[in-house]
Chains A and B, each alone.
Chain A
């Protein structure tokens, strides 16, 4: 009996060591914590795409397996997730969400020669590092900041601006871009950072209220934005609220409630009209419910990666990167073409507004 047990254990160990004949792709993002909603939006998009491919026999005759990595929006955690991904032998990673996670992780992916396609990290630095195999399927904060600034100057015609950020690479980077683009056209009455993950922003709201800004620009993510706008309205600060793409999530309205009414965000135009997008949205809704703002991006990122693998006929990172750089894709979010740096060569930003509890693109 004892011998049998030892044999069984050995068998299990060797069975575990057997090289599986699958293609692994990674999804990395905040799967737990206050940004878990977005993490799951990304994961669902990836799973949907991978299931579609597997139904048609996978790629290169192999099944595709999704490896999850939870970075909990923490840059340190992101680095260890990236190492885990490399050790797992993934071909490419879809992620991360936060720029503060994507940038340190990209160095590891680059060293290992793995493809990284971020569905949501907008900080310009990510693609300014000269890495050949790092791609960004969304826009950049310099584009987004200038659209936001232009809107404040041309359409709102407001001149007293308070700029707030959450001290992250994304939040502060976006706030800086906005501030830079405002230039001398407006008076920046306050430029302050707040602590991510806290509940109480009354001190900072009281402070900027004293300076009577007409517009409050926030660089950050929806949990803080929801609390911030709620407390702004409670404390009687009625300035117009503008934020970036990190805020455009139904959770923002859920947390902020009525206070979010009339606030603006910069984000890409709705892709609902194109036939490819419609097919995706129908499938996604049937399976997971409402489509998250970034689900489409992670879905498309997987498709781009797998199409490249199919075309290359191999999983060599360099080859895949070359193909992705030189191909024009037509995906659910529209036509996607990458430039030298790995950015898309269009500026996809427009203004959105919260009206009666839903996000509506501004005409």
Chain B
């Protein structure tokens, strides 16, 4: 029971974490809360469904999955890039509030754009394909983990293989991001820009490129979360970005906004809190958001900069 709730929590939490990364990276560099980021996640989910519906080839799962991810990631990357260029770049030197209001505007625009082009109704991911994906991964995991065909067993917990896929994919993406930020040249430039945008500019870092790359990477991670949610839960509508965005933003603040590791842990902690509170306290499932926000309030009272956040005086 406990093990199972932990897995449930990690599944939800890793989705939060992936989205939270987009918030935190942009905040780290521009001190901008990109409220449109939840909508990027929603676009990712929609793109996955559109791709699966429109592709006429019958591909094996091993071939189809990477294509779905690449398709969604590519287009959301384009969205992220365009949004930054059109909505935020002209406001780079404007008061911070202007950019914030623009972000809310972009978010509303994207919601309505999807509503008008894709319809106001639910979209459903093909049950057939999600079943095939499940079977494919069940077979794959059953080499390492005891299983009974469609479900896996870890420490007495019964796991649906897509849950494990979400957790593992998220961990891989986070490791890649970590590698990118700490080991590559552009990652170094990102860190420098986050420390001091003006100074980075002075020493010859192409700040505009760094900011674009940040938006693109954030969007790609959000899209990955969207694709996985579309595959696992199967239902998407134009408003899912709002709720997910609020939760992910909470996760980013919880972990210390601006800090990448903070966003990862913040997401996982938020997911675990929700799941454990809902699962272990009788009658509490309807209050699970309350527990999540109690944790946030406690952290903000005792550690206002968040779990991993550093108090950086000169920036504020």
Contacts from A to B (Cβ < 8 Å): 31-34, 36-37, 40, 167, 190-195, 197-200, 202-204, 206-207, 210, 223, 226-227, 230, 234-236, 251, 254-255, 257-258
Which of B1, B5, B115, B122 has its CB near the most chain A CB atoms (within 10 A)? Answer: B122
Q: List 23 A-B contacts (CB under 8 A).
A: A32-B120, A36-B120, A167-B286, A191-B283, A194-B285, A195-B288, A199-B240, A200-B12, A200-B233, A202-B8, A202-B275, A203-B278, A206-B4, A207-B1, A207-B285, A227-B233, A227-B234, A227-B235, A230-B233, A230-B234, A251-B122, A255-B234, A257-B234
Chain B residues numbered 11-50 whose CB sits less than 8 Å from any CB in chain A: 11-12
Q: Are A203 and B9 in contact (CB under 8 A)?
A: yes
CB-contact partner of B286 in A31, A192, A200, under 8 A: A192
Question: Are A33 and B120 in contact, CB atoms less than 8 angstroms apart?
Answer: yes
> Once the chains bind, are A199 and B229 in contact (CB under 8 Å)?
yes
Bound form: Cα–Cα A234–B134 in Å: 10
- Establish whether residues B127 and A257, one from each chain, have CB atoms under 8 Å apart when the complex forms: yes
Contact of B288 (CB < 8 Å), options: A199, A203, A235: A203
| Residues in A whose Cβ lies below 8 Å from that of B115 | 32
Chain B residues positioned under 8 Å from A202 (CB to CB): 8, 11-12, 163, 275
Residues of the B chain whose Cβ atoms lie less than 8 Å from the Cβ of A207: 1, 5, 278-280, 285
| B121 at the binding interface (Cβ < 8 Å) | yes
* A200/B127 contact (C-beta < 8 A), A36-B120, A227-B235 known: no
B160 contacts A by Cβ under 8 Å: yes
Query: CA of A255 to CA of B4 in the docked complex: distance in angstroms?
Result: 24
A210 lies within 8 A of B285 (CB): no
Closest chain A residue to B148 by CB distance? A236
A210 with B122: CB separation less than 8 A: no
In the complex, the answer to whether B237 meets A34 with C-beta atoms within 8 Å is yes
> Residue on B with the closest CB to A257?
B127
Which residues of chain A come closer than 8 Å to B282, judged between CB atoms? 190
Known A-B contacts A199-B235, A206-B5, A236-B151; the reply to A192 vs B283 at CB < 8 A is yes
Q: How many residues of B contact A (CB 8 A)?
A: 38
**Given A198-B243, A200-B8, A203-B9, 17 other A-B contacts at CB below 8 A?**
A33-B237, A33-B239, A195-B286, A195-B289, A200-B233, A202-B8, A202-B163, A203-B5, A203-B274, A203-B276, A203-B285, A206-B1, A207-B5, A207-B278, A207-B279, A251-B121, A255-B122
In the complex with contacts A202-B275, A203-B9, A193-B235 CB distance below 8 A: no
- Residue of A34, A210, A223, A236 with highest tally of chain B CB at under 10 A: A34
A195, B289: Cα distance in complex, Å: 9
Complex: how many Å from CA A203 to CA B9?
8
State whether A200 touches B122 (Cβ < 8 A). no
Q: How far is the CA of A197 from the CA of B12 in the complex (A)?
A: 15
With the chains together, A236 CA to B4 CA distance in Å?
A: 12
Task: List the 7 closest A-B pairs by CB distance, nearest first.
Answer: A193-B286, A257-B127, A36-B120, A203-B278, A199-B233, A202-B8, A32-B120
Residue B167 interfacial (CB < 8 Å):
no
The complex places the Cα of A32 from the Cα of B124 at a distance, in Å, of 16
Q: Check A37/B122 contact, CB under 8 A, given A206-B4, A206-B5, A257-B127.
A: yes
| Bound-state Cα–Cα, A255 to B125, Å | 8
CA distance A207 to B284 in the complex (A): 11
The docked-state distance in angstroms from the alpha carbon of A230 to that of B234 is: 9
Q: Are A234 and B233 in contact (CB under 8 A)?
A: no
Shortest CB distance B19–A (Å):
13
Taking a contact as CB atoms under 8 Å apart, the answer to whether A234 and B4 are in contact is no
Closest residue to A39 on the B side, CB-wise? B120
| CB-CB nearest in chain B for A38 | B121
User: How many angstroms from the CA of A325 to the CA of B203 in the assembled complex?
Assistant: 82
Q: Given A197-B243, A200-B12, A223-B122, are A210 and B233 also a contact pair (CB < 8 Å)? A: no
- Given known contacts A33-B120, A234-B160, A197 and B283 CB-to-CB distance under 8 angstroms: no
- Expressed in whole angstroms, the Cα–Cα distance for A32 and B115 within the complex equals 8
Q: For B121, list chain A residues within 8 Å (CB).
A: 36-37, 40, 251
B82 within 8 A of A: no
Q: Roughly how many angstroms separate A199 CA and B163 CA in the complex, as a whole number?
A: 13
Question: Do B235 and A255 touch (CB < 8 A)?
Answer: yes
Q: How far is the CB of A142 from chain B (nearest CB, A)?
A: 23
CA of A127 to CA of B191 in the docked complex: distance in angstroms? Answer: 63
B142 located at the interface, meaning its Cβ lies under 8 Å from any Cβ of chain A in the complex: no
Evaluate whether A203 and B279 lie within 8 angstroms (CB atoms) in the complex, with A33-B120, A37-B122, A226-B235 already known: yes
Chain B residue numbers with a CB within 8 Å of A34 are 122, 237, 239
Checking A191, A193, A206 against B8 with a beta-carbon cut-off of 8 angstroms, the contacting residue is: A206
Q: Please, which residues of chain B bring their CB within 8 A of the CB of A230?
A: 233-234
| Bound complex: CA A40 to CA B235 (Å) | 19
How far is A128 from B235 in the complex, measured between Cα atoms in Å?
37
Instruction: Output the nearest chain B residue to A70 by Cβ-Cβ distance.
Output: B120
